[in-house]
Amino acid sequence: MTPKAPSWEDVEKFLKADGWAQISATARGGGRQRHIFFEKELPEGRTLQTHISHDRSGTMSPGRFSLILREQLEVSREAFWEAIRTGEPVARPTPEDQDEIVEHEPWVMAVLVGSLHLSADRIAELSEDEAIALVQRHWSRQSPPD
């Protein structure tokens, strides 16, 4: 069993095992940075980019972890932890964690963001049923218009 979300130190271990290169602060057009940036060139020529916090002990929410896996690292949760365990790079493409990808209906998103002011991380943690239930509970608490 693996944790739902890693520490930034775990992410750094993954990046090292997977062959990512650290980008210097000057290459990004600045001096002091809040994060440490990395990139990896894939065999087909695309370049992936990500960053980690200077505070390696901090952890991220499960929703943010899912987003980083999908949008930046392009690996499955299983492949992420396997690379850390073995120290070997990930063979891409990897199957995504299909159960982690939930695309909420636009009307649900409108209420979650506009009325309930939920963060992207919190929304990413919600299943479709949980999101709809939150919207319905919100609507049931509203007084009907006159």
Query: Could you tell me if residue 56 is inside a domain?
Result: yes
Q: Which domain holds residue 130?
A: 102-141
Residues 15, 87 within the same domain: yes
Q: How many domains does the chain have?
A: 2
Q: Which of 96, 111, 128 is the last residue of a domain?
A: 96
Position 73 scores a pLDDT of: 94
- pTM score: 0.60
Average pLDDT over residues 46-62: 83
Residues contacting 5, CB < 8 A, separation 6+: 59, 60, 61, 62, 64, 65
d(CA 71, CA 66): 8
Contact call for residues 105 and 48 (beta carbons, < 8 A): no
Residues 86, 108 within the same domain: no
Residues 132, 61 within the same domain: no
Which stretch of DSSP H or E encloses residue 47? strand 47-53
Residue 30 has pLDDT above 60, yes or no: no
Greater confidence (60 vs 137) lies with: 137
pLDDT in tens, 119-136: 888 888 888 888 999 999
Average pLDDT over residues 56-82: 88
Position 11 scores a pLDDT of: 93
Query: Could you tell me how many residues make up the chain?
Result: 146
Written as one letter, the residue type at 96 is E
Position 61 scores a pLDDT of: 82
Residues 34, 48 within the same domain: yes
d(CA 106, CA 117): 15
Residues 18, 76 within the same domain: yes
Residues 130, 60 within the same domain: no
Residues 71, 86 within the same domain: yes
